[in-house]
Amino acid sequence: MNTGKLVFAQLTAHLPLTTFRRCVARYDGEHKVKRFSCLEQLLIMVFAQLTFRESLRDIEACLRAQPDKLYHMGIRSAVARNTLANANAVRDWRIYAEFAQRLIGMARKLYAHEPLGVEISETIYALDSTTIDLCLSLFPWAPFRSTKAAVKLHTLLDLRGNIPTFLHISDGKLHDVNILDQLIPEAGAFYIMDRGYLDFERLSRFDQSGAFFVTRAKRRLRFKRLKSCPTDRATGVCCDQIITLSVFYSKQGYPKPLRRIRFKDPDTGKRLVFLTNHLDLPALTICALYKMRWRVELFFKWIKQHLRIKTFFGTSENAVKTQIWIAVCTYVLVAIVRKRLKIEASMHEILQILSLSLFEKIPLDELLTLSVGSLKQSDFSNQLNLLD
């Protein structure tokens, strides 16, 4: 007797499958494939992310232990680790990258009106990268140092909802500042980045596009002060200046005036110097915007802790990128479901519940609402939280 859908099936019902099939067709992902479709590969890898599987053998053993439920999960073929390994190694990772971008578009619409903590209606992005260490003998295509390999995950995070809008996976040697060449600046948006992205010629392109940036100045920045604005030192703002660059090549790259704000953190006593091309916002608002950059670092810590992107099921470049992009799909899918079902729980709590309930037949909204309602806040007081 049918008593309802599996929790896993209810979750994946939020995936736009027509869009996914278009992505598969665009990159010819099922050329000469008779069994084990790209959709089955996606579903199995999403299952592995949600249940924290650690190897292909682990995935195979868990799914083969539930043979009567695989069909209802959308998996029609027999689960074999060799088949999954081959699919990850051969099928174009761009299928899952493009599908992740479509999910990101859906999520951003749902979180478009999330409060930010600052009175700014424009979109605010935080840009940063994280390094994932690898073994050089197993991953020779990702050189980093003489004795180790690594991949870098460059991410542009939309702070309304903490949704990654741009991701680029490179080897460990690519310098962060080169990612600015791949971004298309959005007019009116704010881009928050650390001083590793300080390149005046590249930042000039953002200014010419009508975008705003907030970054930190390097210690040896040479400039000429044009104007000083009044400040209240009790707030921590030591100076607010309009400057121009005085070094020849820097001035050639960015000839327009910049705003320099020196801020002393009243809690830690640390002094920070910010640069921005927005000349009108209050100085404290600029400082508050840069403080929000920590969210992208929290995002990296969170996905490394709760998703499988530090250990990989394959060693080829295609397999690694496929796994990372499907992990992004999983993260964004859970964020979409959380918003659509109006669940107040954190992403961590939802993932913990789903990891133990995917084979159950309980309405998803009921499962998440009742399970989270019975938890005490102190149970997760030491966890990293996103999308609270």
Q: Is 340 within the bounds of a domain?
A: yes
Confidence band, pLDDT 50/70/90 cuts, at residue 1: very low
Cα 375 from Cα 381, distance rounded (Å): 11
CATH of the domain at 244: 3.30.1370
Angle between helices 94-110 and 317-340 (to 10 degrees): 20
Last residue of one domain, picked from the residues 254, 288, 322: 288
Please check whether residues 237 and 276 belong to one and the same domain: yes
Across the range 357-375, mean pLDDT stands at: 80
Q: What is the DSSP string of 76-106?
A: -SPP-HHHHHHHHHHS-THHHHHHHHHHHHH
pLDDT digits (tens, 9 = 90+) for 106-131: 999 999 888 887 778 889 999 999 99
3-state SS, residue 121:
coil
Query: In the beta sheet, which residues pair with residue 214?
Result: 192, 276
Across the range 308-326, mean pLDDT stands at: 93
| Beta strands at 271-276 and 212-216: parallel, antiparallel or unpaired | antiparallel
For the chain, percent of residues with pLDDT exceeding 70: 95
Cα 107 from Cα 336, distance rounded (Å): 5
Q: Which pLDDT does position 378 carry in this prediction? A: 46
Cα 321 from Cα 363, distance rounded (Å): 33
Q: For 177, phi and psi rounded to 5 degrees?
A: -65, -25
pLDDT digits (tens, 9 = 90+) for 252-292: 999 999 999 999 888 788 899 999 999 989 999 999 999 99
Please check whether residues 199 and 242 belong to one and the same domain: yes
Q: Which pLDDT does position 371 carry in this prediction? A: 63
Query: Which of 265, 286, 296, 260 minimizes the C-alpha distance to 190?
Result: 286
Please check whether residues 318 and 360 belong to one and the same domain: yes
Q: Is 150 within the bounds of a domain?
A: no
Please check whether residues 217 and 274 belong to one and the same domain: yes
Question: By 3-state DSSP, what share of the chain in percent is helix, strand and coil, each rounded to 5?
Answer: 45, 20, 40
Cα 111 from Cα 164, distance rounded (Å): 12
Arithmetic mean of pLDDT over the chain: 89
Around Cβ 113, how many Cβ atoms within 10 Å?
8
Around Cβ 312, how many Cβ atoms within 10 Å?
21
Q: Which pLDDT does position 155 carry in this prediction? A: 95
Please check whether residues 282 and 203 belong to one and the same domain: yes
Last residue of one domain, picked from the residues 253, 288, 323: 288
Q: Is 85 within the bounds of a domain?
A: yes
Residue type for position 210: G
Domain containing residue 13: 7-96+314-380
Q: What is the Cα Rg of the chain in Å?
A: 23
Token output for 117: 């903590």
Q: Is the pLDDT of residue 9 over 50?
A: yes
3-state SS, residue 266:
coil
Confidence band, pLDDT 50/70/90 cuts, at residue 380: very low
Q: Which pLDDT does position 383 carry in this prediction? A: 55
Residue type for position 318: N
Last residue of one domain, picked from the residues 270, 288, 306: 288
Q: Is 107 within the bounds of a domain?
A: no
Are 242 and 226 contacting, i.e. CB atoms less than 8 angstroms apart? yes
Q: Is the pLDDT of residue 381 over 80?
A: no
Report pTM: 0.89
Q: Domain count for the chain, please give it.
A: 2
Q: Which pLDDT does position 119 carry in this prediction? A: 77
Cα 197 from Cα 209, distance rounded (Å): 17
